[in-house]
Structures are given as C-alpha cells and as structure tokens.
Amino acid sequence: MSLPNHTTFCERYGVRPGAAVDLSTIDPNDTGEFKSLKEASKSLKKLRKKLRKYQDRFYAWNQKSLLIVLQAMDTAGKDGTIKHVMRGVNPQGVTVTSFKVPTPEEYAHDYLWRIHKAVPKKGMIGIFNRSHYEDVLVVRVHNYVPQNVWSRRYEQINSFEQHLAENDVVILKFYLHISLDEQARRLQARLDNPDKRWKFSKGDLKERKLWDDYMAAYTDAIQKCSTQHAPWYIIPSNNKWYRNYVVAQVIVETLKNMDPQYPDPEEGLEDIVVV
Ligand code: AMP
Ligand code: MG
C-alpha cells in the first residue's frame, strides 16, 4: 500500500476533531508502504537527519515550544520511542518528563499542577512519558475518583491545552496502539530476558486484565480531546520500527510547517576578521 503523494502522515494517522474513534478497526500491524524494517531503513535514516536539522533550527529560533505526549498500554513502546526517535537530536534542546503515581505533594494539588510545571519552554522539545491523560485513564479505570469528577476532566484538559496552544506551545499527542497478543509476547520477553526483567511489574498483569476498560477509556480520551490545537495520533505499534517511523514523520511534518528560521545575525559581521 503506498501513500498518495498529497497525503501527509499527520493527515493519515491524526484523529480529526469530532471524528468517532473505534480502536478495534485500527490495525496495530499496519506498516504503510513498507514490508519490512530492511525496506524502511534508508527512509528512517533520512528522516532522522531531517529531524536533527529541524530541531537545530527550532532551538535557535526560540519562538515556540513543542510538547509531545506519549500514552500507551504497558510495553507498547513509550520508552523505546523516546530512545529511537530522539537518537542524534541535540540533548540540550530536549526535556523528558515521566509521570508516575503522584507524590503526596502532587496529590495535594490539582492534577494539572505537575503537568504545567513540566511544559517545555521556547526552543525546547518536551516529551511527556505519560501525562495528564493518566487522570482520565488509570484513574477512571480504577475509580480513584468518582465519575462525576473524572468526566469533567476532558473539557478541563481541552481548555488547558488550548491555553498552552495560544501561548506558543505546539502540542502533539501519540497513542501507541498495540494488540493484546503483542503485549503478551512483550511481557513474556521481559520475563525471559534478565536485562529486561527490571521493567516487569506484577501490577502489569493486573492492568492487562483490564484491557477492555482501558480501551474504552482511551477511546473517550482520544475522541473527546483530539482538537485542532492539540491533535491525537493513533500510531500502529506492533512493529517497533514502523512506530518510530510514523512518530518521527509526524514530528518532522509539524516542525516543517512551523518553518523555524535561524535568527538574523548581528549587523556588520561581514567586515570582521578574527585574528
Ligand atoms: P511506569 O510508566 O511503568 O514507570 O509506571 C508508572 C505508573 O504510574 C503507571 O502504572 C501509571 O498508571 C501510574 N500513574 C501515572 N500517573 C498517574 C496518576 N495521575 N494517577 C495514578 N497513577 C498514575
Ligand atoms: Mg511499567
């Protein structure tokens, strides 16, 4: 299957505001126009080069920040996406924040408090490994707060993200879509590999049993909160290389559309000779 020339990855994998979402109809095995990693490796390399180029300009330009939200079920590849997509990008221009179970101090504040503090400043790409969406995902699935509390959060999140967007934060949200079977394989691989065992938690199996509840919660989060100013992208993620490829494509397309420019140099530099 090849992409028609006019179709961008943003259009292809982005969720149009107001569109109905049915995750069961989206193929996590999709690999677009490629049959294998081997076929894609040249394109991946070129894409990494482009990302490096745009990030260099974006950092120097210093006019906007880029917030990348990663959400997914366990093992879908939040960590791997960060490691592989950002490989080679200047670390000085990137922040990564992982949101865990809130600390007592975080619990003592509203749920967006810790989030807002971590939003990247101008020139920076900020990656959220989990995010405020946990407050309508794990929190909803486990009833950590009553329905009348979490159900109001979709609108609060949209307003918060709109506020950020109107203040020079460009937002991309990725849901890394894997199948239940693929998760089983990856959890087993973590158990079987001594170097990966540290990533396994018995709690992951409890969450896995709640798969359908999570899919319902993800569907609502994506459907209610994919907006013009902060779109959701559903990324086929059973194949790690294709996941990385699509995420990188969406980031590159977004940076390109911003058209970041190197700032004008000081005047009168032409005549200067450094001795
Ligand atoms: P990991 O990403 O594997 O390090 O796990 C982090 C854990 O923190 C996951 O089980 C998340 O569901 C949990 N977590 C993150 N944010 C929240 C939140 N706002 N409320 C409750 N649990 C959360
Ligand atoms: Mg985990």
Domain count, the chain: 1
Residue 72 lies in a domain: yes
Residue 210 lies in a domain: yes
Exposed / middle / buried, residue 274 (Cβ in 10 Å: 0-12, 13-18, 19+): exposed
Residue nearest to atom 15 of ligand 1 (CA): 100
Give the Å distance between the CA of 151 and the centre of ligand 2.
25
Residue 87 lies in a domain: yes
Residue 37 lies in a domain: no
From the CA of 98, the nearest ligand is 1
Nearest to 173 by CA among 155, 160, 161, 159: 161
What DSSP element (H or E) covers 160? helix 153-165
244 close to 85: Cβ distance less than 8 angstroms: yes
Q: In what order do the strands lie in the sheet with 169-177?
A: 94-98, 125-129, 65-72, 169-177, 232-236
Residue 274 lies in a domain: no
Domain extent for 144? 4-30+43-258
Residue 264 lies in a domain: no
Ranges in the chain, pLDDT < 70:
1-6
**How do residues 102-124 score in pLDDT, each as one tens digit?**
999 999 999 999 999 999 999 99
Could you tell me the CATH number of the domain that includes residue 234?
3.40.50.300
Report d(CA 181, CA 98) in Å as an integer. 26
Q: Which pLDDT does position 31 carry in this prediction?
A: 97
**How do residues 191-236 score in pLDDT, each as one tens digit?**
999 999 999 999 999 999 999 999 999 999 999 999 999 999 999 9
186 close to 75: Cβ distance less than 8 angstroms: yes
Q: Which pLDDT does position 88 carry in this prediction?
A: 85
Per-residue CA distances from 115 to 135, 142, 169 (Å): 11, 21, 13
Residue nearest to atom 4 of ligand 1 (CA): 100
CA gyration radius, the chain: 20
In this structure, the number of other CB atoms found within 10 A of the CB of residue 56 comes to: 15
Q: Which residues contact 35 (CB under 8 A, 6 or more apart)?
A: none
Q: Which pLDDT does position 1 carry in this prediction?
A: 44
Residue 231 lies in a domain: yes
Exposed / middle / buried, residue 237 (Cβ in 10 Å: 0-12, 13-18, 19+): buried
Give the Å distance between the CA of 100 and the centre of ligand 1.
4
Residue 79 lies in a domain: yes
Q: Which pLDDT does position 3 carry in this prediction?
A: 53
- The model carries a pTM of 0.96
Residue nearest to atom 5 of ligand 1 (CA): 100
Q: Measured from the CB, is residue 134 less than 6 Å from ligand 1?
A: yes
